[in-house]
Amino acid sequence: MGLRRCALVVTAAIVLLVGSCGSNGAEEGGVQRLKGQRLEVAAVWSGEEQANFEKVLRRFEATTGAEVRFTSTGRDIAMVIGSRIQSGDAPDVAVLPQPGLLGDLARRGALEPIESVAGTLVDANYASVWRELGSVNGTLYGVWFKAANKSTVWYRTKAFFDAGVAPPKTWEKFQDVSEKLARKGVKPLAVGASDGWTLTDWFENVYLRTAGPEKYDQLVDRRIPWTDESVKEALRTLGQMLGRPEWLAGGVDGALATSFEGSVVQTFAQPTPEAREQAAMTMEGSFVAANIAHDTMAEVGTDARFFDFPSIGESRRSVIFGGDVAVLLDGSEAGRELVRFLATPEAAEPWAEAGGFVSPNRSVDPAAYPNLTARQLARALVEPGVARFDLSDLVPASFGAMNGQGMYKSLQDWLKNPADVDNIAAQLESAAAAASR
């Protein structure tokens, strides 16, 4: 065991001891004090993600003696959890995919504050932004267990090598690289625009860098309208990349018919005579690595790599991220212990080792991740610089997260006519206002 790993283990042990003072740890003198106790944890995960999270739960069971039942809610977790709270049958712990939902539940009095449960661990293991995102009106309600860096551009290394280009660090260089790829007969970008959330991620990354974090927060909170000049400027800037149909695999119509998963395949799968045009890059989150491994023959780290979303103008290093936050709905002893456990680096290790997972917990040993790419993705979330949560997950779901309406539809309409900035901004403002009533 290396010196750094030893230091992390010692630090985690000290923090756990401090965090347990006055609240009884799960183990006392090596005895599994929760033996015989049962609890339920609910989350959206299914399939491979559920299997990997259950590895985490098995570690908790082995440590505490508690028995944990996992319930998959599917994507409509807000409705499922809300219904169960109303019927008096809430799970002990839920892992929520949006801070907005955490806020809604906390304001309804459905969540237990967790400062005495995990506050010390959160301060020891996380950057301050994660405490802020897990809090409502200064009260800590959530521990961020899993996160996604949504400011990554994934590229096919052979396409870059053949065109003689390197990963760009600035918006201007991003355009230069795209132009050189196009001259080589390669479509620069695959965009999965049939899934409107991919376009919201493009917009959010550009807006954070052109308007800055203060304006970003104002837009989320509706302190400025979507007709603000900052929104129009971001759309015009975004048009410098996505407003070039000749740079998009399949053109505009092809992009609007392509799913997120399809955009990954367009970029990294081996081309076939029947396949659509192959692209050199696709912009999406750290989870792209799992799609590459599952859906293509490409190898992450060699055939497929990523670079950070480029800076625009004088913008500082910035990250848009998403994630999953654990909250306590029932103040049971076992539930409290599980939330405390999820704030430790030991909880993250089983899923980190399995792959397809990034933790914002800065005490997780980098060696737990299976490859250099995963370690690089995790590093960007540990101390993210200028960081903001996915805007479309912070606004009302009817505006930010539904197909055929709100941000999804407006940005799809914009892609068809990127010069129509004024009308699109007005359309966004109308939809945002309706969702806020």
Write down the pLDDT at residue 31.
55
> Residues 356-389: pLDDT tens digits?
899 999 999 999 999 899 999 888 887 767 889 9
Answer whether residue 15 shows pLDDT above 50: no
Answer whether residue 111 shows pLDDT above 80: yes
> Residues 266-295: pLDDT tens digits?
999 987 655 568 999 999 999 899 899 889
At the topology level, CATH places domain 152-319+392-436 in D-Maltodextrin-Binding Protein; domain 2 (3.40.190)
* 131-138 mean pLDDT: 94
The Cα 283–Cα 313 span in angstroms is 19
Q: Which CATH number fits domain 39-149+321-388: 3.40.190.10, 3.40.50.2300, 3.60.15.10, 3.40.50.300?
A: 3.40.190.10
> Residues 383-396: pLDDT tens digits?
767 889 999 988 88
- The pLDDT-based confidence of 69 (bands split at 50, 70, 90) is very high
Question: Which residues belong to CATH 3.40.190.10 in the chain?
Answer: 39-149+321-388, 152-319+392-436
* Residues of the chain above pLDDT 90, percent: 77
pTM comes to 0.82
